[in-house]
Every structure is written in C-alpha cells, then in structure tokens.
Chain A
Amino acid sequence: MSEPRTIDPGHVSTASNDDMVQRIGQLARMLRDSMRELGLDKEVERAAEAIPDARDRLSYIATMTEQAAERSLNAIDRAQPLQDLMSERANALQQRWTTCQETLPLVQGSTEVARLIHDTQTYLAEVPEHTQATRQELLEILMAQDFQDLTGQVIKRMMDVIREIEQQLVQVLLDNVPAGEARENRRQKAQERDQGLLNGPQIDTSHADVMANQDQVDDLLDELGF
C-alpha cells in the first residue's frame, strides 16, 4: 500500500485494485447500514421467505403439465385401436356388399336401392382414408406432448436458480461482513455451469453456437465428417 502511484503500470494497477476493494468494502458497509435504517433488511427477508412459495408454484406447473401430457397420451392410446377397428370393419363390410351385388342382381332392379348401395359403398371406401387421417392427427397430438419434457427441463433449471437466489439472500441476511470470497466462489460456479455441456432446451436460439434446428445439427455433423 506504500507503493508510489507512478511510473510502473503493474504497480499502479495493484495499488488501484487495493484501493477499489477498500472502497467497495466501504460501500457495502454503507449499503448495509442504510438498508437497516430504511428497514430494507426486512424487505430482503420477505423476499427470501417468498422463495419457497415460488418454488412450490413452479413445482405445481411441472406436476400439472406432466399430468396433462400423460392424460393426452392415455387418450391417444385408447383412440388409436378404435380407429383401426373402424377401418377394418368398413373394409370387411364393403367387401360383403361387393359380393352381395354380384350374387344378387335382383337388388339392382330398384334404382333407389341401387343408389343406396352405391352411396353406402362409397362411404365405406372413405372410412379407411379418414381413419388414416385421424391416426396422423393423433400422432401430431402425441408429438405435441414433448413440450412436457422441454418445459420440465426448463422448470428444473429455474428451480436451481431460485435455490441459489434463496441461498444468496439468506447469506445477505446472515453476513455482517460481506463475504467477498464466498461470493467469488459462487460467481465462478455459476460461470462453470454456463460453460458446461448440460444447458438443456435452448430458449434463445439466436446465439452463434446454438443450433436452431435439425438442419443446422446435420450441417455441423456433415462438416465434422460424421
């Protein structure tokens, strides 16, 4: 601290760093005192107390969306065999009508009956087309349930963030002396997490190193020669 504040740039920066740390320490003390004077420590306390509630609400969302997805999947599982059955039966019935027409030319004497037979057969022929289309729509509903996995992962992550905020708030309340070191550790941990490989669903796909769609993934794999 007795370093002269001139000439050597290395020394200058060390000296001003020490200076800065001291000033931040003073600021922190001032902030803490004014917080107490203004009753803001109570605000922090209230914020910290509100967190378990926020966590419960998030967990409620996770549970409800999972249940909704499960119910949709169960309904799809029940509906699909019914569609198959309908299609099979329509096919069988249509075949019987065809055979019947060949063996009973009499029926065709009445134009009314002939028209009815024709319409019925047309309808029966359409049924499998429609059940197939319905199957495709059911598949679409099934695929849409993947939101539960994606939102679930995001909620999990948010719960972690909230837990961390809670810890920090509680720490603010507990600490009389600002624990600079502890904070530094926490900051580093947060940074490490960001750089890790488990980041989950990408909410913002505009980042340069984030794949916005399957095509980009494929292009990258091609580039890598896979």
Chain B
Amino acid sequence: MADKNMRILVVDDFPTMRRIVRSLLKELGYTNVEEAEDGEEGLARLRAEAFDFVVSDWNMPNLDGLEMLKRIRADDGLKSLPVLMVTAEAKKENIIAAAQAGANGYVVKPFTAATLEEKLNKIFEKLGI
C-alpha cells in the first residue's frame, strides 16, 4: 500500500485540469499535492523540493511534458522519480516517445477517476512503493 502522505506534483497549464487531478488524488486519499503550470516551473520545483511522484501533462508552453520528463531522467537527483503522463496527445508515436523517454504510465484525456487510480496503483505496485 502506497504512503498516502507522499508528495505529488501535478504539472498542467490548464488550471481546471490541475484542480480535477488534485481533487481526484484527494478522493483517493492523497492530500499532499502541489501544482506547477508548465514544465519549466515543474522542473524548478522538483529540483528545489523533495517530491515522491509526478503527474504531468504533455502540451504546455515554455517546456513541454516530454522534455521535462527527459530532463528528469537525465538529472542524477531526479532520475528515479516516477512520472505519470496524463495528456490529450493520443497518437501511437506519442505513446512510444513517452515510453522511450522513461514515462512510468500514460493516461489519455479525457480519463475517468477509475483509470487514474488503476494506473497509479500499477506504478506503485511495479516500483514497490
């Protein structure tokens, strides 16, 4: 069972989506949630503070989610951080690119609460969190 106190960063440029993800996480028992509005801010926060999990959009201004993911994997301090992509990008090459860049999971928008829970638990299980 994953620690419900784990610190989660939600990265999305749409405030509505950040709120939705935050509320869903709260519904699942995860209340320690922070937000960032693009990859640049997300990366800066990840480097400055300790987080246990990242839920990120793909298409964002300044630094997109895929690029952020690549930089996380290239950063010695962050490279093992689990990242779940939650995005409207739904082409085959998107999913391949995200998987190759080291995403731990991929959820396509629009998604359901059940899907998010299932993917989170799958990642926790795999990583033994």
Binding site for B on A (CB under 8 A): 66, 69-70, 73, 76, 139, 142-143, 145-150, 152-153, 197-202, 205, 209-214, 217, 220-221, 224, 226
The contact sample of 29 A-B pairs, CB cut-off 8 A, is: A66-B16, A73-B20, A139-B113, A142-B20, A143-B20, A148-B16, A149-B88, A149-B109, A150-B88, A150-B109, A150-B110, A152-B14, A197-B89, A197-B94, A199-B91, A199-B94, A200-B59, A200-B88, A201-B88, A205-B90, A209-B93, A211-B92, A211-B95, A217-B106, A217-B108, A220-B96, A221-B95, A224-B96, A226-B99
Contact across chains for B90 and A202 when beta carbons are under 8 A apart: yes
Residues of A within 8 A of B94 (CB): 197, 199
Q: Knowing A70-B16, A145-B16, A146-B17 touch, does A200 contact B89 (C-beta < 8 A)?
A: yes
Distance in angstroms from A156 CB to nearest chain B CB is 9
Distance in angstroms from A191 CB to nearest chain B CB is 16
Q: Knowing A202-B90, A211-B92 touch, does A73 contact B19 (C-beta < 8 A)?
A: yes
Q: In whole angstroms, what is the CA distance A70 to B17 when docked? A: 10
Residues of B within 8 A of A147 (CB): 110
How many A-B residue contacts, CB cutoff 8 Å? 103
Distance in angstroms from B20 CB to nearest chain A CB is 6
Distance in angstroms from A31 CB to nearest chain B CB is 37
Distance in angstroms from B73 CB to nearest chain A CB is 14
Distance in angstroms from B127 CB to nearest chain A CB is 13
Q: In whole angstroms, what is the CA distance A145 to B66 when docked? A: 25
Binding site for A on B (CB under 8 A): 12, 14-17, 19-20, 23-24, 27, 58-59, 64, 66, 88-97, 99, 103, 106-113, 115
Distance in angstroms from A163 CB to nearest chain B CB is 16
Which of A213, A221, A224 is most buried by chain B, counting CB atoms within 10 A of its CB?
A221
- Beyond A153-B59, A197-B58, A209-B91, 6 extra complex contacts between A and B, CB < 8 Å: A73-B19, A197-B94, A197-B97, A198-B89, A221-B95, A224-B95
Residues of B within 8 A of A153 (CB): 59, 88
Q: In whole angstroms, what is the CA distance A213 to B111 when docked? A: 9
Residues of B within 8 A of A70 (CB): 15-16
Q: In whole angstroms, what is the CA distance A198 to B89 when docked? A: 7
Q: In whole angstroms, what is the CA distance A200 to B93 when docked? A: 13
Q: In whole angstroms, what is the CA distance A210 to B93 when docked? A: 9
Contact across chains for B96 and A213 when beta carbons are under 8 A apart: no
Residues of A within 8 A of B64 (CB): 198
Residue of B with least CB distance to A135: B27
Q: Contact partner of B115 among A66, A73, A201, A214, CB < 8 A?
A: A214
Q: In whole angstroms, what is the CA distance A171 to B112 when docked? A: 46
Going nearest first, the 9 A-B pairs with the smallest beta carbon separation are A201-B88, A149-B14, A149-B17, A211-B90, A209-B92, A148-B16, A69-B16, A226-B99, A202-B90
Which of B16, B58, B106, B107 is most buried by chain A, counting CB atoms within 10 A of its CB?
B16
Q: In whole angstroms, what is the CA distance A73 to B21 when docked? A: 12
Distance in angstroms from B121 CB to nearest chain A CB is 14
Residue of B with least CB distance to A202: B90
Residues of B within 8 A of A69 (CB): 16
Which of A139, A148, A149, A150 is most buried by chain B, counting CB atoms within 10 A of its CB?
A149
